[in-house]
A and B are shown apart, each in its own frame.
Chain A
Amino acid sequence: MHSHTRKLLTVITEAALEGTLVRDLDRLNAHGYTITDARGKGNRGVRDAGWEASGNIRVEVVCDAETATAIAAYLREHYYDDYAMILFMSDIAVLRPEKF
């Protein structure tokens, strides 16, 4: 089976940012995204999702390298200073390149 390489962009950030982030992703040409609730610990403390204000989300976007770089640059510029946010990318194989 022939597969194609795409980028998986994973963002872990505050649940409060979800609405804004989703709008950004749409604007930056992400064709889709998956959001899950998350908890954990980072340099802004334990975020254990005990209630609304301490929840984290994990946003995953599969897209081409160009879009992934653009999204990463945008998020870094707009949110890194003020929000708890980490972001990483990995190469993945997909079967239907036209979808992403």
Chain B
Amino acid sequence: MIDPIILFFLLGAVAGLLRSELRLPAAVYEFVSIVLLLAIGLKGGVELAKQPFLSLLPHMLVVIAMGFVLTLVAFPVLRYLGRFKRADAASIAAHYGSVSVGTFAVVVAYLGSRQIAFEEHMPLLLVMLEVPAILVGIVLARGLSRETRWKSVAHEVFLGKGIVLLLGGLLIGWAAGPEGLKPIEPLFFDLFKGFLAVFLLEMGLITAKQLGSLRLYGPFLIGFGIVMPLFSALVGVGLGWAMGLSVGGTAILATLAASASYIAVPAAMRISVPEANPTLSLSAALGITFPFNVLLGIPIYYALAEWAHTFARG
């Protein structure tokens, strides 16, 4: 049975393709994404309180390393196989090394509706994975040039909406604990899927808009938008298994690896690497990879995670 939230995404995409009048007011989209980010943070924070922070450190370091490596793998492929300009290749690589919170929310809902358990500190790993790719992307585009204003880059990266809300939610959840959060649970946890449905409706509309520009950039970018996430998911499954994550946790890590950023990275790249064409990376991340992950990728990554765990047990 197809998850209804996926149907909302399809509705948005079809409405967009048919050029319907439908559009979500920007303020509503903003509000919905704020609620989702906070909800993800809060949920993770509650669980963080239950385990010593130091025990999570190895996981965090592995995930940061993964962010570096995925970006470094994507860059030469784009540069030499795809023949993109250096700045464009670096910018697209950074998008694919980072994560999409929307995709994360969908995989969480996917596992939730199938009652599959996963490690609750995944939101922390989500935050960790957001940043490294941006730094690598800037260095790949620029070299370690003095011109890069690292202070404003750092401001853009660490004080962007995503990180502030996720980390803020984590801290609030951690400080308040499950009992303390009871009064606000109805908004953030009970309505989570409803908000996600509205969010995906808008994402469908946005995705449909990207498809037009994809036609301009040809088959390589489309292929990259599908093959790169599959490759990244394999890396994620391998690492998740090696880190001793559960099947659910491994599936989430694979999805995190496979997803491509469309909020934090575009904003940072626009400021730090302005000569990179933003349409290229956005149409790949939003036009191809996001719908691919939401519709097909997540079930595949879950199957991969399950397979890896069964295989390892013998």
User: Is B303 an interface position by the 8 A CB rule?
Assistant: no
Interchain CB contact (< 8 A) of A16 among B26, B213, B267: B267
Tell whether, in the assembled complex, residue B271 and residue A16 are in contact, meaning their CB atoms are under 8 Å apart: yes
Interchain CB contact (< 8 A) of A51 among B26, B270, B278: B26
User: Is B23 an interface position by the 8 A CB rule?
Assistant: yes
Main SS at interface, chain B: helix
Docked complex: B32-54 residues within 8 A CB-CB of A = none
Tell whether, in the assembled complex, residue B26 and residue A83 are in contact, meaning their CB atoms are under 8 Å apart: no
User: Which of B70-78, B183-191, B202-210, B250-258 contacts its partner?
Assistant: B202-210
Instruction: Indicate whether A50 sits within 8 Å of B266 (C-beta atoms), given known contacts A16-B271, A82-B274.
Output: no
Tell whether, in the assembled complex, residue B26 and residue A53 are in contact, meaning their CB atoms are under 8 Å apart: no
A82: B residues at CB distance < 8 A:
274-275
**C-alpha spacing A17/B275, complex, angstroms:** 13
Interchain CB contact (< 8 A) of B266 among A53, A79, A83: A53
**C-alpha spacing A83/B269, complex, angstroms:** 12
B262: A residues at CB distance < 8 A:
53
Indicate with 1 or 0, residue by residue over B145-161, a CB within 8 angstroms of chain A CB atoms.
Answer: 00000001000100000
A51: B residues at CB distance < 8 A:
26, 29, 202, 206
B205: A residues at CB distance < 8 A:
50
User: Is B282 an interface position by the 8 A CB rule?
Assistant: yes
Q: In the assembled complex, how far is the CB of residue A39 from the closest CB belonging to chain B, in whole angstroms?
A: 9
**C-alpha spacing A50/B202, complex, angstroms:** 9
For A46, give the chain B residue with the smallest CB separation: B209
User: Is B176 an interface position by the 8 A CB rule?
Assistant: no
For A53, give the chain B residue with the smallest CB separation: B266
Instruction: Indicate whether A45 sits within 8 Å of B213 (C-beta atoms), given known contacts A16-B270, A82-B275.
Output: yes
Q: In the assembled complex, how far is the CB of residue B98 from the closest CB belonging to chain A, in whole angstroms?
A: 14
User: Is B263 an interface position by the 8 A CB rule?
Assistant: yes
Instruction: Please indicate which of the listed interface residues B156, B275, B278 has the most CB atoms of chain A within 10 Å of its own CB.
Output: B278
Q: In the assembled complex, how far is the CB of residue B310 from the closest CB belonging to chain A, in whole angstroms?
A: 40
**C-alpha spacing A37/B26, complex, angstroms:** 10
Docked complex: A14-63 residues within 8 A CB-CB of B = 14, 16-17, 19-20, 37, 45, 48-53, 55
User: Is B246 an interface position by the 8 A CB rule?
Assistant: no
Indicate with 1 or 0, residue by residue over B225-269, a CB within 8 angstroms of chain A CB atoms.
Answer: 000000000000000000000000000000000000011001100
B267: A residues at CB distance < 8 A:
16, 52-53
- Sorted nearest first, the 8 A-B pairs with minimum C-beta distance are A82-B274, A16-B270, A53-B266, A82-B275, A49-B26, A16-B267, A51-B29, A51-B206
19 other A-B residue contacts (CB within 8 Å) besides A53-B267, A81-B275: A14-B270, A16-B266, A16-B267, A16-B270, A17-B271, A20-B152, A37-B26, A48-B23, A49-B26, A50-B26, A50-B29, A51-B26, A52-B267, A53-B262, A53-B270, A53-B278, A53-B282, A55-B26, A79-B274
